[in-house]
Amino acid sequence: MCYQRMPLYFFRDLCNLLVRDLRRHSNDCSRNRTHIGIKKDQTGCRGKTFDSSAFFLEGGRILPYTIGRSNLFLMGQTVEVEVRELKPELLQDYLKFFDQAFSDFPQWADCYCGFYDTPGNDWDATSGPEHRAARSTLISASKARGLLAYIDGEPVGWCNAQPRANFVNMRSYRVALADPGQPVGSIMCFVVSPGYRGRGVCTALLRAACDKFRRDGLQTAEGYPTTNPQKRFGEIPWAESNYKGPLNVYLKNGFTIHKQLELFAIVRKHL
């Protein structure tokens, strides 16, 4: 076989093409990074969403935001998950989400994430309409906190995250209250619609919760992932038994095990 010696300009042009493609790829990656839009509440710009392309992850730290957007790969396509703080104007989205969130496990459909905001030890797990009405009242009065995740404008995920001192009733998680006055943000629950589980929605919510805590001046983020499910969990689908958030998701996002208990771990991240 005969090989022809290639002229020098051929290699020069080839290198230029490679550099151009690398630059184009770098720009594409920049556009696909988690990016942030800001929604101001009390500065004369209420209700306006600013151009999110100017705010990026820097050094692994999410810049302050009210609405966060992350790109996920779902069903062979790249989709954007948007995270919004719960506000009274999102009440109908909240109810719409929880009306169908447990479609694959209706035994939990009556909660509406009011379990840790209800005083006393009595909890009627079958009183869906009452729980729905109670949460509606709290949300309308700006007395309920948390984060909703959206894809294509539809709510697909929820995270009950707020200052630990705000929870009315931490129930079995009271053991975490070694120092009740400590400025800690607690992540109590994750709920993701069945068709979007395992796709990064939980991670997007977790990161948004940590950033919200940081902006609120809290020093520590705290979660309570189940590490040793009770036997009764054998009748509960994996997704529901992990409603505290999987341990590996916390660990991958900078949390460490602060204390290991019989059924769950207390994980923390310094903000």
Instruction: For the chain, give the percent of residues with pLDDT over 90.
Output: 43
**What DSSP character marks residue 195?**
G
Q: What is the pLDDT of residue 67?
A: 44
**What is the DSSP secondary structure assignment for residue 198, as one 8-state letter?**
T
CA distances from 205 to 84, 117, 143, 159, 208 (A): 9, 20, 20, 6, 5
Name the least confident of 37-46, 70-79, 150-159. 37-46
Q: pLDDT class for 52, splitting at 50, 70, 90?
A: very low
The model's pLDDT over 224-256, given as tens digits with 9 standing for 90+, comes to: 999 887 766 556 777 677 899 999 999 999 999
DSSP sequence for 132-158: HHHHHHHHHTT----EEEEETTEEEEE
Strands 35-37 and 67-74: antiparallel
Largest CA distance in the chain: 88
Torsion angles phi and psi, residue 226, rounded to 5: -70, 130
Q: Residue 237 corresponds to which tokens in the numbers above?
A: 């689908």
Which pLDDT score, from 0 to 100, does residue 65 have? 36
Fold of 82-270: Aminopeptidase (3.40.630)
Average pLDDT value for residue range 196-224 = 94
Q: Identify whether the C-beta of residue 82 lies closer than 8 Å to the C-beta of residue 68.
A: yes
Dist CA 170 CA 120 (whole Å): 10
Under DSSP, the state recorded for 247 is: H
As a whole number, mean pLDDT of residues 210-222 equals 95
pTM of the model: 0.72
Rounded Cα gap, residues 20 and 13, in angstroms: 11
The DSSP line for 96-129 is HHHHHTTTT-GGGTT-TT-GGGS-SS---TT-HH
Dig out the tokens for 235 from the structure. 């009748």
Average pLDDT over residues 171-181: 78
Task: Provide the terminal-to-terminal Cα distance of the chain, rounded to the nearest Å.
Answer: 65
Does the pLDDT value for residue 42 go beyond 80? Answer: no
Q: Which of 22-36, 162-176, 235-249 has the lowest mean pLDDT?
A: 22-36
Q: Which helix (H) or strand (E) holds 260?
A: strand 256-260
Judged against a pLDDT cut of 90, whether residue 184 lies above it is answered with yes
Q: Which pLDDT score is estimated for 114? A: 87
When mean pLDDT is compared across 23-32, 73-82, 85-94, the lowest value belongs to: 23-32
| Burial call 139-163: b when 16+ CB within 10 Å, e when fewer | beeeebbbbbbbbeeebbbbbbbbe
Q: How far apart are CA 65 and CA 71, in angstroms?
A: 16
Question: Does residue 202 carry a pLDDT above 90?
Answer: yes
